Every structure is written in structure tokens, then in C-alpha cells.
Structure 1
Amino acid sequence: MTAIFAATILLLAAFGYLLGRGRALALGGRATAGFRLHSRPQYHGIFVAVWAALPALIVVVLWAILEPSLLRSLISDRLPAELASIPAEQMQVLLGDIRALALGQPISRPTTDAMRAIASEYSGMRTTGLLVVAGVAAALALGGLHLSRRSVAPHFRARNKVEMLITALMIVAASIAILTTIGIILSLLFETYRFFTMVPFLSFLFGLEWSPQIAIRADQVGSSGSFGAIPLIAGTMLISAIAMAVAIPVGLMSAVYLAEYANSRVRNVVKPLLEILAGIPTVVYGFFAALTMAPFIRDTGGLIGLDVASESALAAGLVMGIMIIPFVSSLSDDVINAVPQSMRDGSYALGATKSETVKRVILPAALPGIVGAVLLAVSRAIGETMIVVMAAGLAANLTINPLEAVTTVTVQIATLLVGDQEFDSPKTLAAFALGLALFTITLCLNVIALRVVRKYREQYD
């Protein structure tokens, strides 16, 4: 049904465009009338198309957003007594199953006559609602089409109206991005506050033990769990540092070679090959780390007398560094190529060699962009989950030894939120606290990078 609505609105918009443009062309062709169109015919067509499609589109979007909750509230009032008395949590699941049953989707529970009757009623109400929405949308579309077509006149400023509409759309798009970010932050803050009402802030921030499993009975060991985040943060920093120790030198040197030393034939082959690494799924890297890199490091360490865990931070960090190389090399290559040729020519004119030009002119001039590439790579390393799960394990060990098993913040977030969870438990709410901590770390990295960029950009602009 959504596809039918979308296709109908697009057809109305196309018809409105042709109608408005045709009317504008007809008015502009009357040379004896002694006037000219203020705007080009296509602007008049766009104006009519927008007002033919926009009101109908708003109605359809509002219905798509409000329809589930509206119909659920209507169904709740019609539930029989044996279903209306169930707890609120089970009620939400029941209403979801009834909606799925009405839409012809499979459900896990066995159906009853009462559920089938309510699902049939739900389907009827949904059909009625769709018909009403279709009628309202059609009326608004035809009304907008008629009124906007009548507005087409020689002195009508259609271009100004269209540009105002485009500006408004860009403001709405920017506002959506900003509001989404604010919503994410507020949701993290709200759930983190709930977590800290159950777990002390200092014990989370400075605690040295992480064991979020809460026992069923109060007399069991660790019945309250341990929520010290230091082992997770240390593991995240350790694996990210190993990854960046691989990605930054290899990626940056690859970028310098491709931009300054390689001929076009080599560049056209090597650059796409490097960028292929960015397209490989992370689960493939995880398999490579778990099945190839981790056993190789363990066996190699055993040959020289080192005790290497079967799942180690070194294996995860090395494979993660390989995965991140394209982020550094591709972006740095583009930044280096953007350095003006006049700076290279001036350096050569002063007698500098190619290597001196690269070290003292090109890299300092490209430093803001390189810092941005490195920051993106660091953020990618901090946020990686699959490689760590498969190669470094889930053990929350507080260590700086890369040969031992560690875990990261993102892995624990994924672990805490897997399966059916109760969001009144500190075990589940800990995921939001970890998310806020990760957000804060990334924000601090952004601030540091911005300061570096501003400092050197003023020098080389």
C-alpha cells in the first residue's frame, strides 16, 4: 500500500509539473500581450508539482507514523476480559502479535478465537483508515494542483517560491540531523542516569572489575554484579593503539608513495586494491583473525617461549589495523593531491630534494586533512565489534600485555543487549553508560583534532 501511495504521489507531481510548465509556456508565447514571464517555465512546473504532491505526502507520512499506536489504542478498548487483565509488558507483546496476525505475518504463539476476531477487526479498521487517508490525500493533492495552477501568471515569482522551498527543505534536513543527535544524547543521558541511581558513579568510572552478571539469589557470590569500566576502556585503548600502530604508518606511507612517487600505471592498480580492503565485511576480518592470525601469533610466541593466549589483543589489533589502512591511505592521498603544485615548485626552486619537499612542505600543508583521516580511523577502531568478539574474546582483563585476551566497550554493549532484556536492570542499563563513555571519548578526540587543525591551518593557508 505504501508503494501505491508513493507511486500515485509521484504521478501527481509529474502531472503537476507538466501542467504548470505548459501553462507558463502558453502565457509566455503571447507576444502581443506585451509581457514576459518573471520565471522560467520549469520553475512554474516545479511550483505546481510541489503543491500537488507535498500536502498528500504529509498526510501519508503522518498516517504511517501514527497508525500503529492509534489502532492499538482502539484495539485495547475492545479486548475481552481475559486478555485485558494481563500485565502491561505482556499486553504490548499481545498487541504486536494481533497486528502481525492482521497483516498476515507469522507469530510465535498459538492463536485463539479471540485473537483472530480482534485481528479481523483490526484489519477492518486499518482498511477504513487507509481509505480515509487516501481520500484526504487525494482531495488535498487536487486542491493544491488547482490552486497552484491558477497562481501561474506572467508576474508570479515562481523561482523565488521554489528557492524558498528548497531552502526550507535544507533547513529541515539539517534540523533532522541535529535533532537526531540531540535525541541520541538525551536517551543516553536518561538511561545512564537510571543506571547511576543503582550503581555508584565512582565505582563505574574507576572500578577495576567488570562482571555485569547478576545472580538470582542475594546470597550468591557477586549477587550485585561488578560494573567497573576501567578494564573495558583499557582493552579498547590497547586494541585501538595496536591497530593504529599498523594503519597510520602503512596508510600514510602508501598515500605519500601513490601521490608523489608512483607513476599513473602503478597508481591506477594499487589505489583500487587498497580501497578493496574497506569493502570487505568485518566478519570476514574476524574469521581471518580467529582462524589464521591468532593461531599464527600463538604458535610463533610458543617457539620463542612466550605464553600467548588463544584469543589475544595483538591478533585483533593487527587485523583491525589492516582493515583501517584504506581509511588513512585513501583520504591522505586525496589531501596530499590537493596541495597546490605551486608549493612543490617553490620548494624545488629553492634547491630542496623530493624527499625534503615531502617532509617539510607537502606533509605540513596537508596536516589538517591527515589529522582528519587519522581521527576517522581512530573512531573506526574504537567502534569495531566483530573482530574483537572473534579474535580477542569477552574476558574483561585489566592488562597492557597485548598477548592476553581482552575485551572492548563495544563488545560488552553488544553482549549486554543481546536477547530479551529487562530495562530496569543495571545489567542492561550498563550498556547505555558504556555508550555515553564511548561518546565522551570520541568527543574528546574530536576536540583535540580540531585544535590541531586550526593551529596548522592558519600557518599554511
Structure 2
Amino acid sequence: MSISILLLIVAVIGVAGYLAGSWRANALAGGKSSSLHSRPGYYGAFVAIWSMLPAVIVLLVWIIASPIYIGSTVRAGFPDEVKAEPQATQNLNYNMIGAIARGFRLLSVEERQAVFADAATARTVLAGKGVPLAADPAPYMLKSADDLNRMTTTSSTILSALVMLSALVGAVLSYRAIAPRFRARNRVEGVMLAALIGASSIAILTTIGIVASMLTEATHFFNMVPAWEFFFGTVWDPRFAAAGATASSGQFGLLPLLAGTLYIGFVAMLVAVPVGLFAAIYMSEYASRTVRSVAKPLLEVLAGIPTIVYGFFALITVGPFLRDISAQLNGLVTGNYSNFIQAQSVLTAGFVMGIMLIPYVSSLSDDIITAVPRALRDGSLGLGATRSETIKRVILPAALPGIVGALLMTASRAIGETMIVVLAAGVAARMQLNPFEPMTTVTVKIVNQLTGDLEFTSPQTLVAFALGITLFVITLCLNIYALYIVRKYREQYE
């Protein structure tokens, strides 16, 4: 039985439990709801929860544990010479067995007998069923595939029985527990509180998992390449080694990538901060309600445009435009119409990225400025200050901590951008101060190092995790500092 059908059956049992629990509560109340500890709906919800919750837990545990057990059992049946091979080879063999098992489900009885009679025939028959194999399967693979199908079928049958049994037992026991003074509301709210805590913990657990996975692989990298060479190196030249090689050929200097990341982010902030901040001031202090209702959504549309579209815009419009303008200016001044701004440059990437960041700055700053109490504005205007003086001397100082925090969070967004930099700034890893020349960032090199069919055994691929954990620490520090600024300098108004 498929998982979707099982979930549907469990949901039906839960709905039936809700109706039965509510009916039983009303029946016990005898028309006097005051005799019940909780409303009838809570009794129904109690039965529904304990009809579905045990079944879902059994389902999740089985889905996780069953493939592990079946996989280990199938691998245990491999011949000794196969078990002696490297783990990567065994994984490939197991994947091939899985493909054969999927093909077996499509075969008739006669076709299965022909498959087991000859390996070459097996490959031909399975290819005809849409399951191509890279080579003729070994006899043990055919047997293992048959065992895999058999154990999978048995596991599915046992799972269906256990899930339905858990749902029915939970429904019966919770239904029998209903009594007039039974604290159904407390039980239901306790389950909902646990669910809310679990939901709020997902982000924390996800962050911990991401950091742990990156740290594990980054540790392997630093075992091959000294940390000081990575953090203080000035040359980025990984020079990919042959497949399976573990020698640390190449140079893995972080500084050129870090310089490009900060430089492009700085140019982007130079574009985004003035435009976004002035737009926020206008919309919150000067714009009429009609203008604000139109301008604010139009400005925030920029935040919904995919970054790859910004990259195309930089590649085919902004970059060539800056290149041609520089050639014209150079021709007017020197008579030599050669361009001094490259189509792919720090300026191009920073300018387009700044356009992308404008809605982040304007939206956050607008909300912060709008939150300044109206009494401060009225008091300043009542004392004779103009609107511009009120903004400069009252509103902006009051909103400054929040604005600074918003700008730091926007900067962390700029540091993590990838697609715009790939298309607008190039992939040249170098240290230079000319904004008209190409540079690259940490995120671009992470993509480059993990592109293709690679094994995570060489420093050329493992360096991506070192770059990732470095970028994570930088953005985390920016966000923590932004929260610190907001909390330390937040004004409290009464």
C-alpha cells in the first residue's frame, strides 16, 4: 500500500474519531454542556489527535528504519570478493541492484525466468522495459534484486498493518478515555504546544545540521591544506587533480575571493543605501496615501525578480552600456576610443546588485521610520521646525538603530549573492582596486568547485566547504552585530 493511501486512511480514521468523540461528549453531557470540563470539540480533537499521531509516528520511524535494515541485509548477502571492494564500488553495485529490482516489477513470469537464466538477456530485457544498465549484471545482483523486492513488499505489508492498527488502537483508547470531567482541552493544548515547539525548533536544528555538515568536510580539507595557507593565501589556483587523487596540488588562498566579495558588496551598498533610504523617507513622510499605495508595491516588485534575471540584465544591458560609454568618454578626452570599463567588472556587478537590494533597504527602513511615534513629529512641528528639519533632527535619530540593523542585514544578503556575480563580474580571482576590472566572490568559487561529477576526497572539492563555513561565519557575525546595534540603541517611547 502506498504512503499516500495510508495517510488518507489515517486521516479518515482521525475525522471519524473527531465526530465520535464530539458525539460521545454531547451524549455524556445530556444537554448540559456545563457538566463537561471542556467543550465537545476538544473531546473530538483529543480522539482525532490520538488516532493519527501514533500512526504517523510509526510511519515516520518505519520509513527511516526500513531502508537502512533492508540495505544492510542486501549488502550482507554480497559475495566476499565484492565486500572486499572499496565502499564507493559497493555503493555503485547497490544502486545497480536497485535499478534491476525496479525493472523486475515490470516483468512477467516468463521474462523473469529468462532474466535469471542469462545475464546478457537480463540486460536486454530490462533495457526494453526502460531500465538501461551500464553492464551485464552479475548473478549475485539478480538474486539480490529479487531479495530486495521481496523484503520491500514484506516491509510495505507490515507497515500498512502497523499504521492502521496504531490508528485504530489510538482511536479506541482515546474514545474510551472520554468522561465528563476529563481534561480534554488541557491534553489537546499540550499536544499543540509540543507541535509549536517542534516547529520552532526546525530552523535551529536545520542550522545546526548545516554547520555540522560543513564543519565535517572543512575539517577534512584542513587536514590536507594548512589553515594559514587558506586564510592568508593571496593566490587562488586550485588546479583540479585527477579523479581520486588526494594530493593538495594548487593554491587555495582565500584573500582574493574575500576581497572580491567585500568590494562588490561595498559597491552594491553604495547604490542601494542612498536610493533605498531616500525612497523610504519619501514614502513614509512625504507621499500621499494614494501615491504610497502604488509606489511601495511597485518598488517591492524588484525583490521578487529572480537573481538570474538581474544577471542577464547586467550581462546584456548594463555591462555593454558601461563599456561603450567608457569608450566614448575615452575618445572625447584622448582620441583613443578604447574602453576602460570592462563589460564584466566590479562596477557592473555592484550596480546591478545594488538595484536588487533597493527594496530590502527601502521596505525595512520604511517600516522602521513609520514606527517612530507620531507624538515626536507633532512636537517638533509644534515647536516651529520644518518637515525636513523634523526628519533630520528627530525622526532619523530615533530610527537610526533600526536603520543600521536593516543595512547590516542587507549587507549580509549582498555577500551571499551568486548569480549576478557569475554573469556580471566574471570568475577571475585576483586582488586589485580598479572597479572597472573583473573580480569574483566566495559564492562563485563554491559553485565552480562543486560543478560536475566529483568525489569529495580531494582538496579541490573539499575547499568549497571551507569557503562555505567562512561565508557563514561572516554573515552570522553581521546579523549578530545588527541585532546588537538594534537592542543596544533602541529607544523606548511611552
TM-score range, shorter chain: over 0.9
Between the aligned partners of 1:97 and 1:368, the Cα distance in structure 2 is 59
Q: Which residue of 2 aligns with 1:225?
A: 250
| Count of aligned pairs between the two proteins | 455
RMSD: 2.3
Residue in structure 2 matching 1:356, options 389, 407, 411: 389
CA offset digits 1:240-279 (Å, max 9, x no partner) = 1111111111111111111111112222221121111111
Q: Which amino acid aligns with 2:38?
A: S
Q: In 2 relative to 1, CA 35–395 (structure 1 residues): closer, same or farther, beyond 3 Å? A: closer
Q: Structure 1 stretch 429-438 or stretch 89-98: which is displaced more? A: 89-98
Q: Is residue 192 from structure 1 mapped to residue 225 from structure 2 by the alignment?
A: no
The CA deviation at 1:83 is 5.2
Between the aligned partners of 1:3 and 1:215, the Cα distance in structure 2 is 46
Q: Structure 1 stretch 179-188 or stretch 198-207: which is displaced more? A: 179-188
Q: In 2 relative to 1, CA 40–299 (structure 1 residues): closer, same or farther, beyond 3 Å? A: same
Q: Is residue 314 from structure 1 mapped to residue 347 from structure 2 by the alignment?
A: yes
Show the 5 A alignment for 1:254-403: 254-305=279-330, 307-403=340-436
Q: Is residue 25 from structure 1 mapped to residue 26 from structure 2 by the alignment?
A: yes
Residue in structure 2 matching 1:430, options 454, 463, 478: 463
| Aligned-partner SS, 1:61 | helix
Q: Which amino acid aligns with 1:112?
A: P
Between the aligned partners of 1:107 and 1:364, the Cα distance in structure 2 is 68
Q: Which amino acid aligns with 2:163?
A: A
Q: Which amino acid aligns with 1:19?
A: A
The CA deviation at 1:335 is 2.4
Q: State whether residues 231 and 396 of structure 1, in contact with CA within 8 Å, keep that contact through their aligned partners in structure 2.
A: yes
Q: Which amino acid aligns with 1:159?
A: R
Between the aligned partners of 1:319 and 1:27, the Cα distance in structure 2 is 69
Q: Which residue of 2 aligns with 1:37?
A: 36
Q: Structure 1 stretch 175-184 or stretch 241-250: which is displaced more? A: 175-184
Q: Is residue 137 from structure 1 mapped to residue 163 from structure 2 by the alignment?
A: yes
What stretches of structure 1 of length at least 5 have no aligned partner? none
Q: Which amino acid aligns with 1:99?
A: G
Q: Which residue of 2 aligns with 1:97?
A: 96
Between the aligned partners of 2:148 and 2:67, the Cα distance in structure 1 is 10
Q: Structure 1 stretch 176-185 or stretch 258-267: which is displaced more? A: 176-185
CA offset digits 1:93-143 (Å, max 9, x no partner) = 232233244346856635637445533432221121011011111111111
| Aligned-partner SS, 1:128 | helix
Q: State whether residues 348 and 424 of structure 2, in contact with CA within 8 Å, keep that contact through their aligned partners in structure 1.
A: yes
The CA deviation at 1:308 is 2.3
Residue in structure 1 matching 2:195, options 162, 165, 169: 169
Aligned-pair identity in percent equals 53
The CA deviation at 1:374 is 1.9
Q: State whether residues 409 and 478 of structure 2, in contact with CA within 8 Å, keep that contact through their aligned partners in structure 1.
A: no
Between the aligned partners of 1:348 and 1:400, the Cα distance in structure 2 is 46
Q: Which residue of 1 aligns with 2:480?
A: 447
| Aligned-partner SS, 2:46 | helix
The 4+ residue runs of structure 1 with deviation greater than 6 A are: none
Q: State whether residues 406 and 482 of structure 2, in contact with CA within 8 Å, keep that contact through their aligned partners in structure 1.
A: no
Q: State whether residues 345 and 425 of structure 2, in contact with CA within 8 Å, keep that contact through their aligned partners in structure 1.
A: yes
| TM-score, normalised with respect to structure 2 | 0.86
Between the aligned partners of 1:367 and 1:154, the Cα distance in structure 2 is 58
The CA deviation at 1:2 is 2.2
Q: Structure 1 stretch 353-362 or stretch 130-139: which is displaced more? A: 353-362
Between the aligned partners of 2:49 and 2:395, the Cα distance in structure 1 is 49
Q: Which residue of 1 aligns with 2:447?
A: 414
Q: State whether residues 395 and 406 of structure 1, in contact with CA within 8 Å, keep that contact through their aligned partners in structure 2.
A: yes
Q: State whether residues 365 and 460 of structure 1, in contact with CA within 8 Å, keep that contact through their aligned partners in structure 2.
A: no
Q: In 2 relative to 1, CA 37–370 (structure 1 residues): closer, same or farther, beyond 3 Å? A: same
| Aligned-partner SS, 1:98 | helix
Q: Is residue 250 from structure 1 mapped to residue 275 from structure 2 by the alignment?
A: yes
Q: Structure 1 stretch 444-453 or stretch 276-285: which is displaced more? A: 444-453
The CA deviation at 1:459 is 5.8
Q: State whether residues 412 and 479 of structure 2, in contact with CA within 8 Å, keep that contact through their aligned partners in structure 1.
A: no
Q: State whether residues 409 and 479 of structure 2, in contact with CA within 8 Å, keep that contact through their aligned partners in structure 1.
A: no
Q: Which residue of 2 aligns with 1:48?
A: 47
Q: Which amino acid aligns with 1:10?
A: A
Q: State whether residues 331 and 373 of structure 1, in contact with CA within 8 Å, keep that contact through their aligned partners in structure 2.
A: yes
Which has the larger Rg? Answer: 2
Show the 5 A alignment for 1:85-164: 86-103=85-102, 106=131, 109-110=134-135, 112=137, 114=139, 115-164=141-190
| Aligned-partner SS, 1:18 | helix
Between the aligned partners of 2:358 and 2:96, the Cα distance in structure 1 is 46
Q: Which residue of 1 aligns with 2:11?
A: 10
CA offset digits 1:368-413 (Å, max 9, x no partner) = 4323332332122111111111111111011122111111001111
| Aligned-partner SS, 1:339 | coil
Q: Which amino acid aligns with 1:179?
A: L
| Aligned-partner SS, 1:304 | helix
Q: Structure 1 stretch 409-418 or stretch 193-202: which is displaced more? A: 193-202
Q: Structure 1 stretch 308-317 or stretch 43-52: which is displaced more? A: 308-317
Between the aligned partners of 1:84 and 1:223, the Cα distance in structure 2 is 30
| Aligned-partner SS, 2:435 | coil
Q: State whether residues 101 and 107 of structure 1, in contact with CA within 8 Å, keep that contact through their aligned partners in structure 2.
A: no
Q: State whether residues 230 and 254 of structure 2, in contact with CA within 8 Å, keep that contact through their aligned partners in structure 1.
A: yes
Q: State whether residues 35 and 154 of structure 1, in contact with CA within 8 Å, keep that contact through their aligned partners in structure 2.
A: no
Q: Structure 1 stretch 107-116 or stretch 378-387: which is displaced more? A: 107-116
Residue in structure 1 matching 2:260, options 222, 228, 235: 235
| Aligned-partner SS, 1:442 | helix
Between the aligned partners of 1:5 and 1:374, the Cα distance in structure 2 is 49
Q: State whether residues 327 and 376 of structure 1, in contact with CA within 8 Å, keep that contact through their aligned partners in structure 2.
A: no
| TM-score, normalised with respect to structure 1 | 0.92
Between the aligned partners of 1:362 and 1:408, the Cα distance in structure 2 is 37
The CA deviation at 1:77 is 2.5
Between the aligned partners of 2:99 and 2:411, the Cα distance in structure 1 is 42
